[in-house]
Chains A and B, each alone.
Chain A
Amino acid sequence: MVKQLTPRARDAAQRKVNRITIGIIAASIAATAGIGAGIAVAAPPPKQNNKTDYGQKTKTKPATKPTNAGQAQPPVNDKPESSSGDETTTSGGS
């Protein structure tokens, strides 16, 4: 017999599904989302197995990121610009 959820319980369940954390786990985001790959003058060689050897030397990274279809996209401008306005937030040591 299927138990009917109360509206409150249903909302709670929906919220749980919507949690960012659940999204991270489902997407295995650390491996696929291109996190933090912008520093190295080098990029890792292809993995040979599930074990990750983090000590390996790296190779030159591409200047542009490939799309899913393998085509290069123009780089996004993430350089800061001059501003004469007020700040909306602050970046400082924490």
Chain B
Amino acid sequence: MSDVSFPALGTTAHLLVTEPAMLATAEALLREFLDDLDLACSRFRPDSALSTVNSQGGGSDVDPVLFAALEVALQAARDTDGLVDPALGRCLVALGYDRDFGSVPKASRRRVRPLRPVATWREITLDASARSVTLPAGVQLDLGATAKAWAADVAAREIAGRLDCGVLVNLGGDLSIAGPAPAGGWGVRVTADHRISTGGQVVALRSGGLATSSTTARTWKRADEVLHHVLDPATGLPAQRIWRYVSVAAADCVTANTAATAALILGHRAPEWLGERDLAARLVAADGSVTAIAGWPHEAELSTVEVA
């Protein structure tokens, strides 16, 4: 096995392959794809296709990568009955998340003025024949809940198919697996922040995707309020902190990340919702207590309470 990490999409890309000789080619493929994805889907680049659509309220003959990402985002919205909604870009901007997260001031005395959502994903229309998108008035798109996960799925599958080896693509904690897994599976530590290599739990995965959504990793403070980036579409405000973080394993990373994000928004109803869908999940509550759902393996350690 061999691996490489590099910055991408405002986070870290971690690529692992089972055949060390394939790593350089795999890395080149992944870097090119992520460059294309960033140029298509970044909310923070004025030259991105998404920025153009957001500023013009839509467009026709839009970038095909953006169009594909939009279809995925709207499918996630439909699958969650709107819990995961790409129409919240303007609400995020109002809360202060208006640039690459690394550049967002982490504390300010200024109080934010939240915006209630003026429309939902249901009012967004796509036309595949013209590759056009129309946004409701006052809506800007944010693809943060699905684009990275989708990219991980696409990249893992494409690289594994072309290079005929096992591949794991991890984009800031959204990871996807394709091709043959190493003996014992891919060891993955689930934790509150993908940059932390302690705590949480290590599990083995052989296929599919795994994602973690957190209310503690991407936070900033305005006046006396600590804000985070997972918004409740019903209010346009950060979801209540019932869960510190939720990890979900599924057939692909988009499914896993969509479900993990939905779980944060659902709060106390999340275990039942995940169980109904037979999605293996690990939920860590605000007090550190751990709940395992639908086949998620129990902790090897004695403690089932995580220290913050």
Contact = CB atoms under 8 A, between A and B. Distances in A.
Contacts of B76: 36, 39
A51 B125 contact: yes
Contact-residue bracket for chain A = 35 or more
Given A35-B254, A92-B194, A93-B214, A82 B300 contact: yes
B78 A40 contact: yes
A35 B252 contact: yes
B250 A78 contact: yes
B11 interface: yes
A39 B194 contact: no
Interface in B177-216: 184-197, 200, 202-216
Given A19-B32, A30-B67, A90 B280 contact: no
B150 A36 contact: yes
Contacts, number: 248
A92 B75 CA distance: 24
Interface in B1-58: 1, 3, 11-12, 14, 16, 28-30, 32-33, 36-37
Interface in B94-132: 121-122, 124-129
B71 A89 contact: no
B295 interface: yes
B124 A82 contact: no
A12 to B, nearest CB: 12
Contacts of B174: 91, 94
A94 to B, nearest CB: 3
A38 B32 contact: no
B143 interface: no
B150 A89 contact: no
Nearest to A87: B189
Nearest to A75: B251
B188 A36 contact: no
A40 to B, nearest CB: 4
A24 B74 contact: no
Contact of B255 (A33, A36, A82, A91): A36
B185 to A, nearest CB: 6
Contact of B36 (A19, A28, A33, A58): A19
A50 B129 contact: yes
Contacts of A18: 29, 162
Nearest to A82: B297
Given A25-B65, A36-B146, A81-B185, A93 B258 contact: no
A76 interface: yes
A31 interface: yes
B97 to A, nearest CB: 13
Nearest to B210: A91
A74 interface: no
A21 to B, nearest CB: 4
Given A39-B279, A90-B170, A92-B245, 4 more contacts: A39-B259, A40-B79, A90-B190, A94-B193
Interface of A: 15, 18-21, 23-25, 28-31, 33-42, 44, 50-52, 54-56, 58, 76-94
27 contacts: A20-B29, A25-B65, A30-B69, A35-B154, A39-B277, A51-B127, A58-B78, A78-B249, A78-B251, A79-B294, A83-B187, A83-B203, A89-B14, A89-B170, A89-B187, A89-B189, A90-B188, A90-B190, A90-B195, A91-B173, A91-B191, A91-B247, A92-B192, A92-B196, A94-B12, A94-B172, A94-B193
